[in-house]
A and B are shown apart, each in its own frame.
Chain A
Amino acid sequence: EAGVAQSPRYKIIEKRQSVAFWCNPISGHATLYWYQQILGQGPKLLIQFQNNGVVDDSQLPKDRFSAERLKGVDSTLKIQPAKLEDSAVYLCASSLRGLSNEQFFGPGTRLTVL
């Protein structure tokens, strides 16, 4: 079974630029999560999708971050414009039934904002 795929793996941009990350969850997984992991901290949930609907986006900075999951499969997370404090690893996870103990994580995208 293929795991959660993410691209790119690394991205370096300058502040005020835009960036987008892509995630392909495990086939058949209805629930998809985006996490932000800042160096020295644990992952923090940004947004959770159930199929193509948003379940929780309470911690998503909506003035600059946006996410979509068209057709309930792939998802993209966008930052526009980026700030220095957005430097982090962005992790995508998916779950078959939306249970917290069944989240499978992708390798993440490391973003550096200069």
Chain B
Amino acid sequence: DQQVKQNSPSLSVQEGRISILNCDYTNSMFDYFLWYKKYPAEGPTFLISISSIKDKNEDGRFTVFLNKSAKHLSLHIVPSQPGDSAVYFCAASVPGFQKLVFGTGTRLLVSP
């Protein structure tokens, strides 16, 4: 039962353009959504999050949008940089348990 899905295993974007990574979920009880970034041989690092009561959160080049009716969220990176090349995981928080449910990840490649 995959409650958090990232249907695109990979994405290629040119430097300076926008990267859009998508995530869908099935459990309407999730109260927090997070994006993690992972480089090879390193653990995931927290990037940005959004509460289920909001529809947008912005932090520098990174913006996360949440559409609760569609159970969909997206991460926008503008402008994309080669250093953004990594695997991005979407995660959702189970209320009351403080545990994360992760998606399968999307590998982003930003070419110069």
| B100 lies within 8 A of A100 (CB) | yes
Contacts of A98 on B, CB cut-off 8 Å? 98
Give the Cβ gap from A55 to chain B, nearest Cβ, in Å.
8
> How many residue pairs between the two chains, A and B, have CB atoms under 8 Å in the bound complex?
64
Q: Is A43 an interface residue (CB 8 A)?
A: yes
| A40 lies within 8 A of B104 (CB) | yes
Contacts of B102 on A, CB cut-off 8 Å? 42-44
The distance in angstroms between the C-alpha atoms of A65 and B71, with both chains bound, is 34
Contacts of A107 on B, CB cut-off 8 Å? 41-43
| B99 lies within 8 A of A99 (CB) | no
Among A20-43, those with CB < 8 Å from B are: 31, 33, 40-43
Which of under 10, 10 to 19, 20 to 34, or 35 or more describes the interface residues of B?
20 to 34
Contact with A along B52-95 (1 / 0, CB 8 A): 00000000000000000000000000000000000001010110
A101 and B46 contact, Cβ closer than 8 Å, known pairs A40-B104, A43-B89: yes
| B51 nearest CB neighbor, chain A only | A101
Q: Is A73 an interface residue (CB 8 A)?
A: no
